[in-house]
Structure 1
Amino acid sequence: MSNRTLSATGRKLTLVVLGLAALITTMLCAFALPSLHSGPHHVPLGVTGPQAAAKALRQNADGDAWDIRLYPTTTALQTAVKDRDIAGGLAVTAHEVDIYTATAGDPSATSALTALGDSLAAQHTTRATVHDLVPFTKDDPRGAGLTAALLPMIFGGIFPALILSSVFPGHHGLRTRITGALLFSLVAGAAIATVLQFATHSVDGNYWLTALGLILGTAALSTTLLGLQALLGMAGFALGGALMMLLGNPLSGLATGPHWLPTGWATLGQLLPPGASGSLLRANAFFDSSGAGLPALTLTIWVGVGIALALLADRRGRRPATARPEAATV
C-alpha cells in the first residue's frame, strides 16, 4: 500500500473518529445539561386577589422560576389557564388560596405551582385547594401514553428514510420516496392517534385534530430526513437522525412541559420537530387547539425544508443527463 493511500486512509479515519466523538459529546450535553439545570424557568403564573398579597408574592417568588402576571378576577385567571396563556394560577383570599393548574399542559410546573400555593397558604395560616382545570384522562392520569408517543413519531421519520431508500434507490426513486414518506405519515399519524384515543385512552379531544397534528409531525420528521439523505447521502441521514433523536428527543419537553427546561434549551427543543409535535399534540388533545398555531407553523416549515432539499437533490441529479446531448453535438 502506497504512502498516499495510507495518508488518505489516515485522514478518513481521523474524520470518522472526530465525528463520532463530537456526536457522543453532543449527546451527553443534550441529555445531561438540561437535566442538571431542570426546574421551573420563567413559568407564566397568574395571580389574582388583594393587591398587597399579589405584590408580595411577586416580590418574594424566584424571578428566574416564575413570570408572574396579575389578573383582575378568578374567572379571567381560569380562562387564561384554559387558553394556555399561563401554566397555572393562584387566587388569594383572606380565607384560602385556590391553586388552578393544567396538568395535561405542564405536569412538572403543576407540581411546583402546587408547592408554591401550599407555602403561601401556610404563611397566611389559611388552606390551599387545588383545581386541575385541564387534567390528563381518567384512564391515563399521569400521561404515560402521551409521553410514549414521541419515540414512535421519531422512528416514524427514521424508518421511511431507510426502507424507502432501499426499495426505491437512486435518483429515479427520489420522488417515489417523498410520495411514500407523505403517504406513510398519513397512515402512521392516524394510527398513533387511534391508539392514543381508543386503545390507551390517553387523550380525549377531537380525534381528527389530534390525528392531523400527528400526521404533520410525522411528515416533518420523515421528509426532513429523506431530503437530507437525498442531498448529502448517508452523512445527511446520520446528521438528521442525530438531530432528531439526540437533541429533539431530550429537549422536546413532552414528559415535563417545556418550562421545566432551561430557557435556551427549551426554545431549541420547540423549534425541532419532536418538540413542536409534542406541543401540537397537547394543544389539540387537551386545549381545543389553543396554542396550536406556532408548533403547526414550525412543523409546516420543516416539511417545506425537507421537500425543498429533495427537489434540490432532484435538480442536481438531472444536470448530467441534460449535459450529455449538448456535449455530443459539439
Structure 2
Amino acid sequence: MTTDENSPARSAGGGPHHAPLGVTGPESAVAAVQKQLSGDDWEVTAYDNSRALVRAVEERDAVGGLAFGDDGVTVYTATAGGQMISNAISGLGTALAGQQHVPATVHDVVPFPKDDPRGTGLAAAALPMIFGGMLPAIALLQFFPGHANLRTRLAGVVAFALAGGAAVTAVLQFGIGTLDGDYWVTSLGLGLGMAALAIPFLGLESLFGYAGFGVGSVVMMFLGNPLSGLTTGPYWLPDGWSTLGQLLPPGASGSLLRANAFYGGTGAGGPALVLGLWTLAGVALMFAADRRRNGRAGREAGDAPAL
C-alpha cells in the first residue's frame, strides 16, 4: 500500500520518501507489510517486539511503526518529529487494520506539548529563525560600514545570535508552549542556527559587496526556507531536495531545534556540524576579505612616492 499519487499529500512532491518505518508482530504479518510497502515511500524494518519498536522511534531510527497482534494494530507515531508523516502513518495503520477487519489504536510516542498539540509555534518559528540571521547582519553593515569593522561585526553578530536564540526559545517554550526541552540547550542551538546564517551573510558582503549579500539572502529565503522541512520533517520532501535542505542553515537549524526540544538531543550532532561548518565558512570569507584589504593597502603604501 502506498500513498495515492494524486492525493493532496503528493502535491509539489510532498509525501513520505524512503521514510524509516518499523513493524513488529507475527512473521507472516510483517512479511506481508514489507511486500506491500516495497515502493519508494517507506523503508520498512522489522523489530523483535513493541518495546524495541518504541525505542527505535524515541531514538529516531524510525519515524513511526506498526505493531500487529491478535487484538488489532497498534500504530506508533511521533508528531513532534513531523506532523504530516505521523498523519500518514496513522492513515496507513488504519487502512491495514481495516483490511484485516481489526481495530487500530494510535499511540503518540513523541508528542508536542499539551499547550500546542499541533506544533503551530514550530511552523511559526521558520521566519524568525531566518530573519534572526539576516536582520543583525543588515544592521551591523549599516552601523559599522567598511572593512575596518569586520571584527566588530563578527562580535556583534555573535551577540545578536545568542540573544535572538534566547528570545525566540523563550517565546516558543514559555509563551506558546511549543517546545519541551532544556531551555538553555535549545536556545544555544537556535543561536548557532542564526549565527550560521548571519556570519556567511557578512562574509559574502565583505568579499563581494551587497551583490554577495543579496545572492545569499535569495538562496536562504527561496531555497533554504521551503526545503528546511521544519513543519513536515525531512522525509516529506523528495530525497535529493531533502538532502539539500538539511545541508543549508534553515534545514539544519530546524533539525537541531527538533532534536533538542523533543528528543533530548538525539540526532543533534549532524545538524550542529552543518551549522558549525557554515559559521566557519562565513568567518573564512570575512578573513579573506580582511587579507585582501590589507594586501591592497600594503601595495598602495609601497607605490606611494617617498618624501
TM-aligned CA deviation for residue 158 of structure 1: 1.1
Q: Of the candidates 197, 206, 210, which is equivalent to residue 230 of structure 1?
A: 206
Question: What's 1:189 paired with?
Answer: 165
CA distance in 2, matches of 1:313, 1:172: 10
Q: What amino acid is the match of 1:80?
A: A
Q: What amino acid is the match of 1:192?
A: V
* SS of residue paired to 1:92: strand
CA distance in 2, matches of 1:324, 1:58: 71
Calculate the TM-score normalised by the size of structure 2. Answer: 0.94
Rg comparison, structure with higher value: 1
* SS of residue paired to 2:79: coil
CA deviation vs aligned residue, 1:128-155 (integer Å, no higher than 9, x gap): 0000011111111111111111101111
CA distance in 2, matches of 1:288, 1:173: 39
CA distance in 1, matches of 2:136, 2:17: 36
1:142-291 correspondence to structure 2 within 5 Å: 142-291=118-267
Q: What amino acid is the match of 2:35?
A: Q
Gaps of 5+ in 1: 1-33
Does 2:303 match 1:321?
A: no
- Structure 1 outlier segments of 4+, above 6 Å: none
CA distance in 2, matches of 1:92, 1:221: 45
Q: What CA RMSD, in Å, does the superposition of the two structures yield over aligned residues? A: 1.3
Q: What amino acid is the match of 1:46?
A: G
Identity among equivalent positions (%) equals: 55
CA distance in 2, matches of 1:282, 1:57: 29
Q: Of the candidates 38, 43, 59, which is equivalent to residue 67 of structure 1?
A: 43
CA distance in 2, matches of 1:125, 1:252: 39
Equivalenced residue count is 297
* SS of residue paired to 1:205: coil
Calculate the TM-score normalised by the size of structure 1. Answer: 0.88
Q: Of the candidates 95, 98, 104, which is equivalent to residue 71 of structure 2?
A: 95
TM-aligned CA deviation for residue 51 of structure 1: 0.7
CA distance in 2, matches of 1:160, 1:236: 16
TM-aligned CA deviation for residue 156 of structure 1: 1.2
Q: Of the candidates 74, 86, 90, which is equivalent to residue 62 of structure 2?
A: 86
CA distance in 2, matches of 1:287, 1:295: 14
Does 2:16 match 1:40?
A: yes
Q: What amino acid is the match of 2:141?
A: S
Gaps of 5+ in 2: 1-9
